[in-house]
Structure 1
Amino acid sequence: MRLDLLAALNAERAARRACVLVTELESGAARLVTAEHVAADPRAAALATALAAGRSVMVGEGESRAFLTVHVPPPRLLVAGAVHISQALAPMARMVGYDVTILDPRTAFANAARFPGVPILADWPDVALPAYRLDPFTALVALTHDPKLDDPAIAAALAAGCFYVGALGSRRTHAKRVERLAAQGFGADLIGTIAAPIGLDIGAASPEEIAVAILAQVIAAWRRPSAPGARP
């Protein structure tokens, strides 16, 4: 691979942006196509399909064949709130391949003893999230019931286009949350993408069961065709 292509590819991967390395097999010519430039590429349809599937693939026939090497960032799960549900959710999510991080400034709850091996952002969202860099390949789960922590995290996730945003709480609690987000300028359509009450409706009662319901909903959001890392 040419050094300029390798440098560009490494930059996209470091920034957690999806891209495709296109190699024309007849000529050996290669180019890197970022997600924002897919529509302008001669192989736009094939590139869009490959990115949606998240899989490298051979396209074309005969002399027009090309190999599309797809690079999609691995999914992350940011959990706002070091609560009992989070303690069950974190190891489950890691088991199925999510890079999990806990966000909670309350170090009495957010500590290595309660979350072994899990990175912890022990600060408020407005301080911690700029460096964390939410993106469309990240899911945000808000579990504290505290608007001072949940609301800024949810607002940041909506603004960043996270593929899943879910919040714990009753319908009444969420209605108040909707009012607060609307007052911040978020539109009804975007607010309507928030999964609340959070999790699939499986009758979950214990923290562990609620964690299962949440993780199942996150996985479903990641795998659906419109998701940035969707898989068939």
Structure 2
Amino acid sequence: MISLTAVRKQYSSEVAIGPVDVQIPGGGITALVGPNGAGKSTLLTMIGRLLGIDEGTIEIGGYDVGSTASKDLAKVVSILRQENHFVTRLTVRQLVGFGRFPYSKGRLTAEDEEIISRSIDFLDLGALEGRYLDQLSGGQRQRAYVAMVLCQETDYVLLDEPLNNLDMRHSVQMMQQLKRAAIELGRTIVIVLHDINFAGHYADRICAVKNGQIARFGTPDEILTDEVLTEVFETPVTVIDGPNGPLAVYY
């Protein structure tokens, strides 16, 4: 479980995150959705301790994020931010191997190499593992970064807009692979998404963020309603019955 209690981050007298009180159950996919500037990515980076908080407490799997040693926390939670810029020329396999650093400290063992290979295969990157990142498309690089995070083998995985640079087909494939990771690998995945319909179809829970606070939290059926989405996004939304579940239509 991920637990946030009275969490606040103050940027100025007019801009703040919180107070946030929410408990994200273990297992499955929880999608953070909301309008631009709502605080979704900020909330995710605070959970992953890439951004400090001013007040409150955050716990992941019983570990206090604020006080747990980095070397221990890195074996509990992994995070992928939107900004991924490696200056050094790396192959896909070398990049994915960075996920083993909390365990290997840079000296990969045979077991590490096996886990790297599994993560590469899980994201269907086997044919690309010897290629350099600057030889890949944006979507291929994004899949490589997600493979690196999964290679860290943490129970909790935080992903900030992993569908960036992916076309529709590869976005669907990515969400299917993340769903598999949640089910087959037992990971708890918290993901920032812009597309409410991807959240509705693949997430087990949806956390709607607005103005730096949790506006709604519930199942896709509870969140994907005309009333809730219109309130959260401040634009008229109609939810219709699609072939695979509810679909939000903006107009």
TM-score by length of 1: 0.28
Higher relative contact order (CA 8 A, sep 6+): 2
Question: Which of the pair has more CA radius of gyration?
Answer: 1
